[in-house]
């Protein structure tokens, strides 16, 4: 049974033609190796520095056309990120990447943020998975996607050189979301005074706006808008100069017991259960802290826990997981989807309420089933099942056999009989895709 649990619960579904995995735990652990190469699709994405340099150096007369071309390229790269989950040989790793991209949400819905979302995944999440959460959190806070999304490029300290002269206001968005969503959370008891202090600390964290400011990176510290002096954050006084003050705060936040607990809880909620087991959360948090914000140690603790392999499927697939697992079950791995098929699948994903990389708020997409279980949401899933069954049923002769291959021992007798007694193969396939056995993991 563990082979199917590994691929469905921790991965993105059992690919068509796959045989049972002999050592599921080792299979998952191997995907967390730092030796894992960057996917070829990701390697070709432009860095945030390259994109920033192009923006800065584009003549004013060509900026409108250039921006249009860049947005088109960004949209194509966003699609590549999603389709990579269909082809990936390391689906657990991709799920981990998806988790942290959602945890540190930057939504492409906001103007120009879309340009930097692919590089955010590459430079923030993938590049720092093995370096620790402190490195990931700092990279996230310095990235143009996050600085633009949460408006820190418009923040100015009231006592800074520019703030005194032009009365530009302090923006609390980035500081507030880091405290509430990206690190210690409300459980830590942080106050409005902490938000204000952290907002002052992050003033000046910005992006280059011209060739003089561009120094080969997409981050620029704007000293003239930085609030001078020391700041008290969560009972600690920080007096480091300039950008080092913010870096120190982020490092301390990453190693907080509250951040460890929050990350562990969210990971268990994402992979295993809407009501995480307190003991497992505690053990994962300890592994994280013992490794000094070690993400991989926390994930290994989860994989090795007996609770992770319980046969009961407690998690409802989010729409993106549902679509990807459907594709992996029905479509041969080497098959390349044409533009019409891609458009149809993405269109159905939007209809089900989850347009990839367009989260409606900094909280990202919910991992709680209640958010996806409305009558309308389930109706849309049933409609998707019918459409996909009609499109791909000709590729599959025996739907019961297909169900057995992809759900294994998790296939219930009720679902097996329902599929076997269906009046047509198309109906049988639609019933399989609609069944709780397939909808959950």
Residue 12 DSSP SS3? coil
Q: In this structure, what token pair is assigned to residue 219?
A: 């981050």
H or E element: which one contains 233?
Answer: strand 231-233
Provide the terminal-to-terminal Cα distance of the chain, rounded to the nearest Å: 12
CA angle at 208 for the pair 206 and 212, rounded to the nearest 5°: 140
Domain boundaries, the chain: 152-254, 319-353+374-439
CA dihedral for 258, 261, 265, 268, sign (positive or negative): positive
What is the structure's pLDDT at 344?
87
pTM of the model: 0.95
274 exposure class (CB count in 10 Å sphere: 0-12, 13-18, 19+): middle
* Crossing angle (nearest 10°) for helices 375-392 and 425-434: 140
Cα 70 from Cα 113, distance rounded (Å): 11
Beta strands in 171-271 (DSSP E): 205-206, 220-221, 231-233, 236-238
Cα 113 from Cα 364, distance rounded (Å): 15
Q: In this structure, what token pair is assigned to residue 334?
A: 């080497």
Long-range contacts of 299-304 (CB under 8 A, 24+ apart): 299/32, 299/96, 299/267, 300/29, 300/32, 302/267, 302/268, 302/271, 302/272, 303/10, 303/25, 303/28, 303/29, 304/25
Beta strands in 35-187 (DSSP E): none
441 residues of the chain, pLDDT tens digit each? 899 999 999 999 999 988 789 999 999 999 999 999 888 878 888 999 999 999 999 887 777 777 778 878 888 888 888 888 888 999 999 999 999 999 999 999 887 899 999 999 999 999 999 999 999 999 999 999 999 999 999 999 999 988 777 767 899 999 999 999 999 999 999 999 999 999 999 999 999 999 999 999 999 999 999 999 999 999 999 999 999 999 999 999 999 999 999 999 999 999 999 999 999 999 999 999 999 999 999 999 999 999 999 999 999 999 999 999 999 999 987 777 788 888 888 899 999 999 989 999 999 999 999 999 888 999 999 999 999 999 999 989 999 999 999 999 999 999 999 999 999 999 999 999 999 999 999
What is the structure's pLDDT at 126?
97
Task: Express each pLDDT in 116-152 by its tens digit.
Answer: 999 999 999 999 999 999 999 999 999 999 999 999 9
Q: In this structure, what token pair is assigned to residue 38?
A: 């960057």
Cα 82 from Cα 202, distance rounded (Å): 32
H or E element: which one contains 231?
Answer: strand 231-233
């Amino acid at each position: 049974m563990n082979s199917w649990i590994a691929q469905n619960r921790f991965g993105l579904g059992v690919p068509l033609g796959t045989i049972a995995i002999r050592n599921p735990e080792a299979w998952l652990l191997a995907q967390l190796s730092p030796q894992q190469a960057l996917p070829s699709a990701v390697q070709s994405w432009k860095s945030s520095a390259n994109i920033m340099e192009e923006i800065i150096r584009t003549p004013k007369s060509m900026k409108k056309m250039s921006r249009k071309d860049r947005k088109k390229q960004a949209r194509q790269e966003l699609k590549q990120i999603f389709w990579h989950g269909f082809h990936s040989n390391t689906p657990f790793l991709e799920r981990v990447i998806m988790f942290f991209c959602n945890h540190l949400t930057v939504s492409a819905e906001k103007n120009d943020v879309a340009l930097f979302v692919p590089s955010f995944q590459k430079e923030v999440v993938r590049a720092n998975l093995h370096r620790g959460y402190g490195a990931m959190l700092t990279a996230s806070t310095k990235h143009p996607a996050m600085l633009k999304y949460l408006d820190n490029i418009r923040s100015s300290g009231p006592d800074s050189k520019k703030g005194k002269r032009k009365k530009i206001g302090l923006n609390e968005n980035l500081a507030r979301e880091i405290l509430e969503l990206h690190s210690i959370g409300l459980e830590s008891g942080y106050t409005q005074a902490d938000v204000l202090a952290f907002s002052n600390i992050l003033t000046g964290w910005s992006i280059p706006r011209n060739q003089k400011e561009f120094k080969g990176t997409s981050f620029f510290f704007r000293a003239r808008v930085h609030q001078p002096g020391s700041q008290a954050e969560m009972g600690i006084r920080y007096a480091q100069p300039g950008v080092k003050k913010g870096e120190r705060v982020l490092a301390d936040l990453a190693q907080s017991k509250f951040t460890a607990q929050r990350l562990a809880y969210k990971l268990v909620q994402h992979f295993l259960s809407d009501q995480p087991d307190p003991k497992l959360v505690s053990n994962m948090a300890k592994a994280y802290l013992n490794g000094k914000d070690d993400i991989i140690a926390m994930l290994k603790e989860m994989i090795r826990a007996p609770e992770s392999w319980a046969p009961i499927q407690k998690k409802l697939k989010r729409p993106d997981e549902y679509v990807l697992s459907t594709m992996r079950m029905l479509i041969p791995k080497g098959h390349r989807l044409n533009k019409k098929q891609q458009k149809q699948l993405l269109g159905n994903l939007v209809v089900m309420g989850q347009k990839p990389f367009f989260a409606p708020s900094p909280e990202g997409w919910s991992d709680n089933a209640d958010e996806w279980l409305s009558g309308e949401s389930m109706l849309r899933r049933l409609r998707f099942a019918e459409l996909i069954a009609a499109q791909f049923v000709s590729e599959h002769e025996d739907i019961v056999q297909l169900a057995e291959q992809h759900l294994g021992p998790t296939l219930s007798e009720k679902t097996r009989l329902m599929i076997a007694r269906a009046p047509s193969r198309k109906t049988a396939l639609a019933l399989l895709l609609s069944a709780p056995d397939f909808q959950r993991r």
